[in-house]
Amino acid sequence: MINQEDEDPRDSVFAIMWDCHGLEAVARVPNPADTTFALLRGTEPPRAPNIMHWSMRARYNNQRHYEIYVITAQPGITEDDIRDMFQADPQTAANTIRRIGHKHYSDRQEPNRTVIT
């Protein structure tokens, strides 16, 4: 059994992107220590998600109302768990990510509000 106190929270960081049609991408953000040690060993470091590319895609397709968030999940959560969460209940998944995550980009469509004067 894994002791959750021994796990590094940087191992549970994910970048998540969705639009009005659903989840488009979820990727684990590698722990910087893993990258450093891979470079010192002379091996290929883990690849980070290309959030700049995601942001550009979102800006040029603003009719799809993209949202990009970075979250720190509970230890043991995987990319598949996040995909399953969006598959089971997309609205609750999006609301949860908005609540616990850090917004990188949002073109979220807000309902029209009428102003009463």
> 89 lies in a domain?
yes
Average pLDDT, the chain: 88
> 54 lies in a domain?
yes
pLDDT given for residue 112 in this prediction:
63
Range of the domain at 99: 4-106
> 112 lies in a domain?
no
Specify the amino acid at residue 83.
R
Domain count, the chain: 1
Most confident of 4-13, 58-67, 104-113: 58-67
> 18 lies in a domain?
yes
Is the pTM for the entire model greater than 0.85?
Answer: no
> 117 lies in a domain?
no
Residue range 39-55, pLDDT digits in tens: 889 999 888 899 999 99
Q: Is residue 1 scored above 70 in pLDDT? A: no
> 96 lies in a domain?
yes
Residue range 2-25, pLDDT digits in tens: 455 556 656 789 999 999 999 999
